[in-house]
Structures are given as C-alpha cells and as structure tokens.
Structure 1
Amino acid sequence: MIPDFHNLASPYALQHAPLVDRGLPCLGLVLKMIATSIGLTPNTMLQLVTTNPLAIMMFLIGLALPLRASGTENDVGHAGKTSPLNVLFIMADDCTFSDLGIYGGQAQTPHLSGLVKEGMLFRRCFQSAPMCSPTRHSLYTGLYPVRSGAHPNHTFVREGVRSVAHYFKEAGYRVALSGKSHVNPRKAFPFEYSNARGKEGGAGNPDMDAVDRLLKECQDHATPFALFACSNEPHTPHDKGDVSAYPAEDIELPPHYVDTPEVRTAFARYLAEITFFDDQVGQCLDLIRRHGLEQSTLVMVVSEQGNSFPFAKWTCYDKGLQSGMVVRWPGKVKAEVQTEAMVEYVDVLPTFLDAAGLPIPNDLDGRSFLPVLLGNSSSHKTVCFGLQTSRGIHDGPEHYGIRSARSDRFRYIRNLTPQTPFRNTMMKSAWWKSWVRAAGLGQAHAQAMVDRFQNRPAEELYDCETDPWNLHNLAEDPAHQTTRATLAEALHQWMKDQGDLGQETERTALQRQWKNAPRAGQATP
C-alpha cells in the first residue's frame, strides 16, 4: 500500500516517493541515506539491491559502522538530510510568565515542570506586543507588528505577507493550527484548522481528537508536521480548572495589587486556569509520546503576554511583554538547562526553519536562536522591542500608544499621549471596582495604584533586576540618564526602521483591524 503524502509535489514527498512506491518505505529511506553518502541516486541503489542482493548486503554491512558513527549530524538543521524534524508549538493565552510554577509562581504546572527537566528554560523571552492578535501575527510571520501591518488588536497583515504555514508546506510538511487563531487573512495563514467546541475544551482550545488524528496520519504516511496547539487559557472569564486547589485566603498577591476579596477570588480562578492549561500541555505531550514521535519532535511552549490584571496585558511593563518559554529537543537541547539569552517571538519562525534545515527568508525581522538551543551560544540579542496600540481594544482610549525597549537589565517606556488617561475593558471588572472603592475610602495604596495605572508620565525607566514589577520609575534619576538616553535612541531607530510614525500610526490603527479591511472576508477560526 502506497502512503498518501497529501502533497506529492512537495520536495520531501518527491525525494522519497520513488522508493516508497516500490513498497519499501523503511528500506527505501535507509538506502536513500546510503546512496546520498556515496554519490549514487536512490534508484541506482535500488537496482543494485534487486540485481545483486548478496553483494549489496555485504557492502551495506561494511558501511554500517562508519555510517552509524557519522550519522548523528542530521537530525539537526543544515547538518544533513536523514529524517525531517517535526515541530510542536504550544501557546497559552494571557498568562503572566512569573505566575507559572516553573518560574517560581503559585500556579501548579507539573507537566511544564517535567518538560523543563527534559529541556531548556528561557529566562529572557519577550514578545513585541502585549495583546493576542499582534503577538500571533508576529510569531507566525517573523515580522514586527507595524512592518507586517498587524499592530492593533483584531488585526490582519499586509498583502503579500507570508507565514510559517507557507514555508513548511512548501517543504512537504503538514502545517496545522488547533485552537485559538486570531490571525487574518486566511491566505496569509493557510494552516489546517481545527477547534475544540465541546464542554471539556471549550471554543478556541486545541481539539485533542483532531491532534491525535493528525499525528497518526503523519506517522502512518511518514509525513513531517508543524503543529501549533494554541490554548484559550487562562484568558478571562477564568471559568476552568479546579479552583479548590487555590484557596483565596492562602494565595499571595503581587505587591502592587490592592488586597480585596474580589481580587483574591479572581486571582485564584486565574491560577486554577493556568493549571488547566498545563493539563492541555500534558495531553499534547502524551499524544506525541503515544505515537512514538518524541525523539523526532522539537517541542516549544510559551505563555504569551501577561494576564488581564493591571500592569500586564495591554501595557509595556515586563509583566506585559515578557514571556515564558521552554524547549525540548531530544538529543539536541540538553536536559534541565536554563539560558539568559534574550530572544523574541519574531525569532521563533526563523529558528524553526533553521532547525528543520529549511532556508530562512532574508526579509524577516527575526533571527534564529538555534545556536542558543544547541548550546553553542549563551547570548542572542542585546535589546528587545515592544509596542502597544490601544486604539481599537475593547473599551480602550481613543489614542494611547506605548513603545518600549528592553536591555538585559533595564526597560525603557515611552507613552505617546501621557496627558490622556489609560483605560481598557478590565476596568469593568468587579475586582477593579473594588480597587476604586478602596481608593475612595482613603486607602493610600489603592489610591496610588489606581492613579498610577491610569495616569503615566511620558517616559519610564525600570531596573528589572531589582524591580521586577516595574514600580520605581528611574527616568528622572540623574544616575540613570545614560541608560535612558541609550535605550531611547535604540527605540527611536527601531521605530524609524519599522516605519512606525508614533502617534500618526496610532491614529490610523483602525484601518488595520480586520473588520475594517478593504476587502470583505471571513475571519479565520
């Protein structure tokens, strides 16, 4: 029986089809490897086997040991072409990285903890926008938000932008996205799509049955895959998970939160939903294991932007733009290691392409951090950038653009309209209203936090080593003026390179929302 490659015109399928068609799928792959190493075509090797099997058997035995000794090269990137790499990418939704158990947070994450023991934990991973849609567009395209056109929320990329789905499909991969998408238009993101809509997963979560079928088909047909399993958790309304594991009275609130019963209840539900997400990670890893794909699959898990509590999502503080990241790649990434290398979401696409041995387009903003994964480098970038386009967010301000540059230690923030109070949909929540009530009753901490969240200066500078919550603004501190000026200039140059006109870009942001796209179309799932 001839396997269905799903796309016989693909490079990978064409390379292997002649031997597979003769009913020798396993031997065919082995012979192709050997033929390539000695300068023969696969079909010439096949003819030798069929016409003089005894001679060729002795020849193969003679080759076995040296091939075994040198055959460790390809499993990676450009080193060879034995078996293609599979990719499993798992992403949370609105999850502050420091709340994960693997970063010392209170959320119980046993599956992620197990993954960390088998791979690399990144301590300085950042994204370029602290909200869902721009983040995902950036990740899949390898482009920063303004350059791709996808900088407000609920957005879409410019005509002609290509994504990870194009690059891997053209190499013979099946490229699937299960769960939350939030990218447009479909022609720019031609994934195979599936959503879970049952009670267990909920709309927008990975469909584990669909994932199971995909992995089985890929295994049966010897087809490589790039699978993106994108959760909708722990995004509000925080109604999943076992909240009894997080008694509200026992949890520890971040130092800038106003301690009210409403906040404790909401934060406990949020922590429970992180554990629900961790269970989804476990399900994905179990499916990879059950299909015998662990050794050939690079697994990456990220936490996306921060939660929807104050000073995280929709802001350029560290808790908004920093992300958790764990990578497991058996035989390539050392187990139980950590890295301080600074990487960004725009670097993920070129890294996947590099690891798979595929060409990296020259016009991407991101750069491969494969050397970091392989232990050949301990650094990657010196500055990471971020932006928040508030126009178009639910219940947001008319204009409130934010831009940021982050070095290994300091975060610089520029608020484009500091005279305008900041707001978003979170301010409708019961727990935010409890902050406002506490402030009205004269509680000093509540008054300070409510004011700080809504009214911000033109420039902010934070020492993220000593002040991880970004509470002490050093922008006017004489001792830090060199740092402020250096990061301000780096940010200015980045905006210039990206075509970011600052407030003018903010004013026209609604033109970049999918509902206002010049051509009608249906949003992807």
Structure 2
Amino acid sequence: MYKRMINIKFLLLLVMILSGLFCSSSEIKNNPNVLWIVIEDASCHISCYGGKAIQTPNIDALAAEGVRFENAFVTAPVCSPSRSALVTGMYQNTIDAHNHRSQRSKGKGTNLAYVESFILPAEIPLASKLFEDEGYFVTNENINGKSGKEDYNFDNKIIYSGKSWKDCPKGKPFFTQIQLKGGKNRKTRANTEDFKLPPYYFEDSIMRNDWKEYLGSWLDTDENVKQIVADLKAAGVYENTLIFLLTDHGISHLRGKQFLYDEGIKVPLIVKFPNDRFKGTVRNDMVKHIDLLPSSLAFAGLQIPENIQGKNIFAKNYQKQEYIFSSRDRCDETTDIIRAVRTEKLKYIRNFLSYRPHAQRNQYKDQKEISKHTRELFALNKLNKLQAQFYNPTRPTEELYDLEKDPFEIHNLAFDPAYQAELKKLRSVLYNWMTQINDPGLIPEPYLEELGEKYGNKFIAMKQPQFKDINPRLIRIIEAGEKQNTPVLLGASISEEPAERYWAATWLGVNKITSAKRQLEALIKDTEPSVRIAANLALFKVEPDFNPIPTLSRELKNKNKIVGMYAMSAIDQTGILNDEARKIASEASQDSYEFTMRYGKYLLNK
C-alpha cells in the first residue's frame, strides 16, 4: 500500500513536470498580446497631432487611451532600411541593411549570387523569433488578414505561426504586425482646403490635389484603425493588448521620404497599454522607432538582448535621449550618403556626396506627377530660390538648423559665425556615433558586397581589425577633397585600402586636379571595381578627351550586380550620349538587375 501511494505521487509529480515543460513561458506568465500597427509613407498630419485639415477620430481615440509621442523619429527615411531596423531594434547601418533593396533573393534588386551574405547572423535579434521563442503566436498581416509587407533588407527566412492573430489558440498570447498601406493608398481625395503647403513647395492646384490625396490616405487609415480596434474588442483581447501605432517614415514627397529633414524622419507614435496604464499621456522627449522592440519585450516580461541598440522608453530608470541619429543611403538606383544628428533644438546634416544634387535621378520619385511638375517649373524658372535649391547641381557639405526658430529647416546656419560652436560639437557627435555603431556607409557598396561574401556577411566584415577606424580615415579623405587638399588625396590614392583609393579618385575628379592624371591612369587598372569606376569618371573630368565608355561598359559583366549599376551611374554622370554610350545603355536596359536596367532605360530616353 505504501509503495503504491509513492508510485501515485511520483506519477502526479511527473505529470506536473511534463505539463510545465510543454506549457510555454508566456502561458505561465499570462503575458499580454503585442500589436504593432505599421503605416506606410505618412507624417504627423492628423488631428491628434494638431492637424486641422482632416479629422482622424479613431486614431485620436487610441491616442487618448494611451501615450502620444510628440517627437518620434525613424533611423532611416525609406522602407527597407527602416523596417529592417524596426524588427531588430538595431540601427540599419550596424546590421548592413542601410542600402534600400540590395542583392536579396526576392523583390527588386535581386541577385542570387550574393544572397548568403544577406543572412543576418544569429547574434542579431529578430522580433518574430524573440517572441516565438517565448511561446507567442507570431503573425505579420495586412488589414484583410493576408500576409503583410516585409521588405527587409536582409534574407533571413521568417516563419510565422499563422496568417492572422485571429487564429491564435486560446490562452496563448500573440505578437502581430499589421501593415497598412497608409500614404501609398491614394484612393481618396480629402475634401478640404484648410491647409497650406510647406514653403519649400510650389503651391498650385497640382501640388494641392496631391496633398489632398495624401490627407485622404490618412482618412482611409483611420477607418483601418477603427476596424482593428473593433476586431480586438470583439475577440475580447483589446484590454490585454499592448498597441503601438507608427509610420515607417514620413510622407512620400520631394523633401520627405528619402531625406533627413523632419518631413522624412519625424513620425507619429501612439502607444496604448492594457488596463488604461499611462492613459492620456503626452510625451515631448525624443524617441526612435528602434525603441519599439525593447519596449515591447520589457512590457511582456521578456529579456532584452544585450546588443539591441534601442531603449526601453518606459523603463523606470529610462533617461531621456539627448541625440537622435538618422541615415540615408542608396535608394534603389540612386546612390547617396547622408547622416544627421538631432537634438531638441538643433539638427545637423552631413552630405557626403555634396558634389551631387539633392534631386538625383530616381525612378520611384521621378514618375510622380508632382516631381515631373516641379522639374518643369524649375526649367521654366518659376520656382523661388528656396523651392529651386533641391535641383541645384551641388549642395552644402553641412546643414545646421535651429528647429525652435526654423521648424521647416530652410535657413542653413552652418556658415553662421554665431553657431560655429554648435556645428563643431554636433559634427563630432555624429562622427563618433558612426564609428561606435560600425557604420559601413562610406565604404563603396561594390567593395562592401565583396567583403560580405568574403566574411559571410557585412556585419561580421565590419568587425575585422582593419575596419576599426575606417570612418575617421575615410572622413579625413573626404574632408581633404572638400577643402581641395590635393596632397592628402594623392597620398590616399596609393593606399592599401580600396575604400581610401575610391574616395581619393572621386575627389581628384570632382576637383579636376589635372596634375593627378598619372595617378588616375594607374587607378583605372585597379583590382577593385569601384576604384576603377571612380577613376574612369575622374579621369574624364580631368581630361575631357579621355573616353571612359569602353572600360566602364566592361564592368557590366561583373557577377556583383552593384558594380554594373555603379558603372551605369558613372556613364550617366559623364553626360556622353554618343552611339557607343547608347549601345551600352541598350544592353543595360535588358539587364537582369533592376537598377542597372533603370539606368539603361533612362539614358535611352534622354
């Protein structure tokens, strides 16, 4: 009898242990659901943020029930870098997701030869996996319960638990992203005239109607939010769901999306907590969108990985962020390198390609009616100086704005003697940040792709000893070019580091240093394709009789498709449109790589 009782107790104990093993930690902790509502291409032009042109009562109601952030920013003003940063809680630069759509396995800009280097290492956290590992039901969906937009600039395969949070088993929490079309959904034109365009935009019926369609997209988004809330309430899970609502970047306008002015990086952020926690709160401190992941994990009682660069903005020991950093790099076929640091009062912008216009060729933007219209107005000399400056052939190396006095960021104080101390400080803060996060943006992309293939991925490549101080070294060369310090450029042209040779060649050409002809002739035979391309373009600028087309055309055959895109960009910059150039453009227009093809078609249509 005694032995029998022991056996029964043993079996009961075993059942309890096994039940614990097969019961997820989230079920034990009764964790809340976590929902991210991610809206495309929209800024803070809604009524709860003071907008008067339209009313968004459903979004307003959500804000009234939770926390509304007056100063929320994204770390990148375009889809794939911004979304890559969001789901990792890390700067897109650090994880090498900074160039918009690279050689991934799907979507625009695909090239299977380099896919493996776009798989993030295990040490980089992914929101979906972090929650799934803790027993959450994970989905990514749109308003109709179908698969939602991803557009990440990495190639990790993300496996979701199901298509919709509505399929989540009873008693199991869910982590869901609902992707809304937002500013891309231009089906509704708002019936309003109660707005004035920013002063840097020409104001006429074409520009105003476009803005009305943008405002109409907010009206449709507000209805989407109404449906989401109603569905959560009908399922009985609204009160136990932590909700974040934000956009992936600002409005898709000439000076918004793709650029680091507030129109591009400042976004609405609303957080609704279970049980009316923080109800009716408005916060004015600066936060960034990569703070969502650690804040979500913390509220769910889950561990925050040490390498996450975002902050838990609701922690008891949270300290306000003094600086917000943001970056713009290649957007589709348009190569650019811009960095910015913002305080509550000031914003410093660093244009590393100051020798190129703001409004470089970009198919995505150029096909918009407002872009075509504004270029026509520029050609007809109908834009004022402020409105026309985006089309100037060059731009300032530095921009500094007093945001309290100049919220539209139109008065550049970088050359104002009264602001030199602030300029110097913010420049130093930005440069130190670039080094701290291992920002690879100044390394020419063709070369960076090769490093990714060599080391497995670029995140690992940037940790190699030879790149420890790469940013200060490259900035020194770029600044030498901007200051026309030729001896520094000539010295860098024979560096062992390809990235240094690239920038030396680039600036020798920009400055048209005729005495550098011999050095450039050597560099057009360099082992690194990006250096050869830069040297060919530079030699053409130095020696107009030099024909760079034959050597640049050979670069299109490189298996690294970014090389061909760079070569076509260089041909475009030469302005050569002879039969030889058109023949190469015709070949490029049939290229398998989307962004090389765009250059080919563009040159053929010139």
Q: Do they superpose with TM above 0.5? A: yes
Give the direction of change, closer, same or farther, for the CA distance of 1:308–1:16 in structure 2 (3 Å limit).
Answer: closer
SS of residue matched to 2:348: strand
Contact 2:26 2:136 in 1 (8 A): no
How much has 1:191 moved relative to structure 2?
3.0
Give the direction of change, closer, same or farther, for the CA distance of 1:380–1:9 in structure 2 (3 Å limit).
Answer: farther
Map Cα deviations across residues 432-462 of structure 1 (whole Å, 9 max, x no partner): 23223333433352x5313235542000011
- Listed as ranges, the matches of 1:295-310 within 5 Å are 295-310=239-254
What is the TM-score of this pair, normalised by structure 2? 0.63
- Listed as ranges, the matches of 1:288-367 within 5 Å are 288-331=232-275, 333-367=277-311
SS of residue matched to 2:425: helix
Equivalent position to 2:121, from 132, 135, 159? 159
Map Cα deviations across residues 468-502 of structure 1 (whole Å, 9 max, x no partner): 22111111112212221121111101110122244
CA distance in 1, matches of 2:409, 2:126: 34
SS of residue matched to 1:152: coil
Contact 1:383 1:406 in 2 (8 A): yes
Equivalent position to 2:134, from 165, 171, 195? 171
Equivalent position to 1:232, from 181, 185, 191? 181
CA distance in 2, matches of 1:170, 1:335: 31
- Listed as ranges, the matches of 1:189-228 within 5 Å are 189-192=158-161, 194=163, 210-211=164-165, 213-214=166-167, 217-218=168-169, 221-228=170-177
Question: Which residue pairs with 1:382 in the alignment?
Answer: 322
1:87 aligns with 2:25: no
CA distance in 2, matches of 1:119, 1:146: 31
Equivalent position to 1:246, from 186, 191, 213? 191
The structure with more radius of gyration = 2
How much has 1:14 moved relative to structure 2?
4.5
Q: Which has the higher contact order (CA 8 A, sep 6+)?
A: 1
CA distance in 2, matches of 1:482, 1:503: 26
Question: Which residue pairs with 1:413 in the alignment?
Answer: 349
What is the TM-score of this pair, normalised by structure 1? 0.73
Structure 2's unaligned 5+ residue stretches are 1-17, 103-117, 142-147, 458-558, 563-606
Contact 1:10 1:171 in 2 (8 A): no
How much has 1:180 moved relative to structure 2?
1.4
Question: Which residue pairs with 1:137 in the alignment?
Answer: 84
How much has 1:464 moved relative to structure 2?
1.7
CA distance in 1, matches of 2:21, 2:242: 21
Contact 2:36 2:176 in 1 (8 A): yes
SS of residue matched to 1:482: helix
Question: Which residue pairs with 1:427 in the alignment?
Answer: 366
CA distance in 2, matches of 1:149, 1:107: 39
CA distance in 2, matches of 1:154, 1:225: 29
Contact 1:11 1:170 in 2 (8 A): no
Question: Which residue pairs with 1:146 in the alignment?
Answer: 93
- Listed as ranges, the matches of 1:40-59 within 5 Å are none
CA distance in 2, matches of 1:418, 1:146: 20
Give the direction of change, closer, same or farther, for the CA distance of 1:337–1:293 in structure 2 (3 Å limit).
Answer: same
CA distance in 1, matches of 2:21, 2:307: 23
SS of residue matched to 1:298: strand
How much has 1:250 moved relative to structure 2?
5.3
How much has 1:507 moved relative to structure 2?
5.6
Contact 1:299 1:328 in 2 (8 A): yes
CA distance in 1, matches of 2:289, 2:19: 31
Give, as a single letter, the amino acid of the residue that structure 2 aligns with 1:430: E
Map Cα deviations across residues 206-237 of structure 1 (whole Å, 9 max, x no partner): xxxx44x33xx34xx200011100112212xx
Equivalent position to 2:389, from 451, 456, 466? 451
CA-atom RMSD in angstroms: 2.9
Give the direction of change, closer, same or farther, for the CA distance of 1:14–1:299 in structure 2 (3 Å limit).
Answer: closer
How much has 1:506 moved relative to structure 2?
5.0
Give, as a single letter, the amino acid of the residue that structure 1 aligns with 2:149: K
Question: Which residue pairs with 2:61 in the alignment?
Answer: 114
Higher-helix-fraction structure: 2
Question: Which residue pairs with 2:432 in the alignment?
Answer: 493
Question: Which residue pairs with 2:12 in the alignment?
Answer: none
Question: Which residue pairs with 2:230 in the alignment?
Answer: 286
CA distance in 1, matches of 2:153, 2:389: 36
Structure 1's unaligned 5+ residue stretches are 1-7, 18-28, 30-80, 195-209, 519-525
Give, as a single letter, the amino acid of the residue that structure 2 aligns with 1:271: L
Question: Which residue pairs with 2:149 in the alignment?
Answer: 180
Give, as a single letter, the amino acid of the residue that structure 2 aligns with 1:158: L
SS of residue matched to 1:148: coil
CA distance in 2, matches of 1:222, 1:495: 45
How much has 1:262 moved relative to structure 2?
1.5
1:402 aligns with 2:338: yes
Contact 1:260 1:434 in 2 (8 A): no
Contact 2:35 2:176 in 1 (8 A): yes
- Listed as ranges, the matches of 1:468-479 within 5 Å are 468-479=407-418
Question: Which residue pairs with 1:13 in the alignment?
Answer: 23
Contact 1:349 1:366 in 2 (8 A): yes
SS of residue matched to 2:408: coil
CA distance in 2, matches of 1:473, 1:267: 26
Give the direction of change, closer, same or farther, for the CA distance of 1:343–1:309 in structure 2 (3 Å limit).
Answer: same
Give the direction of change, closer, same or farther, for the CA distance of 1:305–1:14 in structure 2 (3 Å limit).
Answer: closer
Contact 1:343 1:381 in 2 (8 A): yes
Equivalent position to 1:275, from 219, 235, 239? 219
Map Cα deviations across residues 67-121 of structure 1 (whole Å, 9 max, x no partner): xxxxxxxxxxxxxx4x211111101101022x12221223432111111111110
1:261 aligns with 2:205: yes
CA distance in 2, matches of 1:437, 1:16: 58
SS of residue matched to 2:414: coil
Q: Percent identity?
A: 28
Contact 1:88 1:227 in 2 (8 A): yes
Contact 2:125 2:308 in 1 (8 A): no
CA distance in 1, matches of 2:367, 2:36: 33
Give the direction of change, closer, same or farther, for the CA distance of 1:332–1:426 in structure 2 (3 Å limit).
Answer: same
CA distance in 1, matches of 2:25, 2:203: 62
Contact 2:101 2:332 in 1 (8 A): no
CA distance in 2, matches of 1:277, 1:11: 42
> Structure 1 residue runs of 4+, over 4 Å off?
8-12, 14-17, 376-379, 505-518
Give the direction of change, closer, same or farther, for the CA distance of 1:505–1:353 in structure 2 (3 Å limit).
Answer: farther
CA distance in 2, matches of 1:157, 1:127: 23
Give the direction of change, closer, same or farther, for the CA distance of 1:184–1:175 in structure 2 (3 Å limit).
Answer: farther
Question: Which residue pairs with 1:128 in the alignment?
Answer: 75
CA distance in 2, matches of 1:315, 1:177: 27
Contact 1:11 1:172 in 2 (8 A): no
